Structure 1
Amino acid sequence: MANPVNLTEGDLNLAASITVNLGFLARNFYDSKTIEVVSAFADFYNSTPNATDSEILTFSGARPRDLDLLLTMLGQREILRDSIFWLDAVAEYLPRTPGTGHILVPVFTVFTILTTVVLGLRLWSRQTIAGGVRGYDWIMVFGYFMTLIYGSSALYHAVNINTASQFWDYSWNEIALQQMFYIILDILYPITALIIKASLLLFYYTLSPARYLKWSVWATFGFTFATAITAVLYSIFKCHPVNYWSEWYTSTCDSNQTIPYLVTGSLMILSDVIIWVLPLPMVMKLQLYRRERIAAIFTFSLGIFACIASIFRLKAVHKYFLTSAGTGKTPIINTWTIVELNLAIICASAPALRALCIKHAPKLLSYGSGNSSDNNSNSDSSMHNERARKNTRSVHGRIIVHHDQIRPSDLASLRSGISRTGSGWSDVEKSVQYSSTSRLGSPV
């Protein structure tokens, strides 16, 4: 049925306010939809037009102080009754749209499978190519499980709670559960993002002994940590008490939550950008062929996709705060959050996947098989230099060492193998020494 002409957006917001306040007041109806509570109150007032406070308390199960506070806010007892009659009369014209939580199911499923596979390949690459799983890898594993916790919580909210898009189609117990999940997800997001970023920064810290990089990593971590903690603390203490839904009338909340959320969200996006571009100047200084340099820059620049997802998430947060009559925007926020966190893990693992491709499927990256073996070498030394030949190749008379395939233990054999090819040692030694300390091509 079409909405009446006079049922404006302001009317819808007023309807939402009446249902929420009446829903909290009527403790005997906490499991009934708030619009059904309005109908029950309308019938009560029709049968008891001059109802006393005692009769209202008996019917609704309200606490005396809650009824007193509500009536004080309204100014007159007649306003409560008239508001109930008005909402009951227009109830059939209120929009009834289903929840949007179903969009979260395929997103969560696809990204969970994809991220699990990528993380597994990353750990395999680290163990078989880079000499073992490092501390920053385990931190990323922790971030992966935190991402699963966030996604599972958001999925439960989408499937079991977010069944409608307006407050009048929820019971008060469902509204209270929604508010609890909002706080949980608000806290989980910055913590999970901080863990993933900490893993990346720790990896950058081990890349090079350059002082500027280490100081940049520390400064970026301090900025990221401060932003995440600020977001967590604001989510927890934006209302007093924290579980404000249990004390609806006596609780106090920040009246303008849009600005803090947008500011902290923008700062988190800024930290994303800083983290993903931080290693690029160092990559530009590496003694690599143009194709190698472009591939390395592209690998580290994949994080831009996670930054784009962060921007869309912030846009969804802003849109949520512009809508006061319903709750349908929350699954959109959760969807973009899941995309952002999973993309961050996937993009951070790109160097490990690249190293894996170079070793096991070189044609995917246009790497040919090694041909740097020396025909004049004897049989005893050929076995000793087998790994050196696999990790080097001759191009126009020069030897190229793939930094993402080399191990520190290969240094001696490479020195021996390179010396017999007639190529100079100094240029290659720089590449091997860099690789042994920084493992640029190792999994992030």
Structure 2
Amino acid sequence: MLGLLMGRLRCLVRGLVFCGFWYGSICSGFLFLYCPLLPLLFLDQKLFRQLTDIVFAAWEVYPAALLECLIGTKVIVKGDAILPHDRALIIMNHRTRLDWNFLWAGIFHACKPLAHRIKMVLKASVRHIPGAGWVMQMNCFLYIHRRWDRDKAVLEKALDYFRDIGHSCQILLFPEGTDLTAGSQQRSHQFASAHQLERYYQVLHPKTTGFVFLVQRMRQNGLLDAVYDITVGYPHTLPQSEFDILKGRFPEEVHFTITRFAGSSLPYGEEELKDWLANRWKIKEQTLTKFYASGSFDASSICSKDSKSPESSAVNLSNGSFHKNSEVIHKYSVSSLPNIIHNSPCNSPSNLKVSCHYDESFNHLPSHDRSHGTILYLTLIFWTLLCFIALYGILTSSFIQMFAVFNINIFLYLSFFTQGFHHLEICLYRFKKKILDW
């Protein structure tokens, strides 16, 4: 009984530490890195967009560092490398509300080189979250209201803005629209019955309208080099919500498999694009069924390309002949000592000692891959120190306190009484363009 209580206490402490540093890094980055860049918005919007993307890309490694160095979660990535300079659409199944947070670790190991500019399509209410929502506004994430007439205009303005300033990015879309729960699965079953489709149990039937619009508009604007299909699986512990993380319930392993499709290989017609997406989700259902039976994405269960879709392969990072277009690119873990009690309340490492290692069967990977551990630790140190410096500054400096209050009030106003900072950025660009044209 005492051991069980101690195990739960360890889980709670780890959850609180993880969430504290995660949220602290966002708030400190917002005040000390983002807000000083605000004057650039009025001087050079393209430079502002580039610098904020660099800051966000640097932060994205921090959740990966916390997950792997602090918690000991293994992140296993297979398939095609993500080319960071691709102007791309990324689609992914939505198993849990926290997929996006674990995705940072997957992207970190999949990107060659370590750089990318991901913009997520999120529900509009997320922009109100203090700190996190404001940072995502400053990074020009795409907020939708689930009313297509309004959402279409939002997406159109953002994509046209990226085109006009010559900004390349990768847009992440969850076509299912929500995470997989008993309620959402029931609604998916009802949809399947109404349209004479088979029932899915590992994924939900995808919504096609947003996907079709993004593909067509990005293609029209010259912003679609590729579409990446990512499948995520959790073979053991599955945290479903933020409260699970707060209580210290972390996955022991997170598996990703990635398939790259050249933008030119996708069909052009609306109905054909809908069918393409539906077919990808059918393959994804089969892939995940095999995954949960075996515990890994192996050669026979990787989301393969449709044999009817000829295209050039992405850069693969494995020298084996494991699969033509989907080969193991990375299997890396930074972990604490293994659990001394596998069935502890949170199934988590119980020691502070940290070790870095690669699976020996992947020693043929390029040498820069072996620097991932160093990057994780340096990132962990940088953002953790920034958290403490920000906290010290807030507590001791009246100047920093006034600076914080000023910027927080600005973003509270923008979030609740306007359409957000990201909308202001686009409107400001259009206004400047009209003035110059005049």
> TM > 0.5 between the two?
no
Query: Which TM-score bucket, shorter chain as reference?
Result: under 0.3
Greater per-residue helix proportion: 1
Structure showing greater relative contact order (alpha-carbon pairs closer than 8 Å, 6 or more residues apart)? 2
TM-score (normalised: structure 1): 0.22
Greater per-residue strand proportion: 2
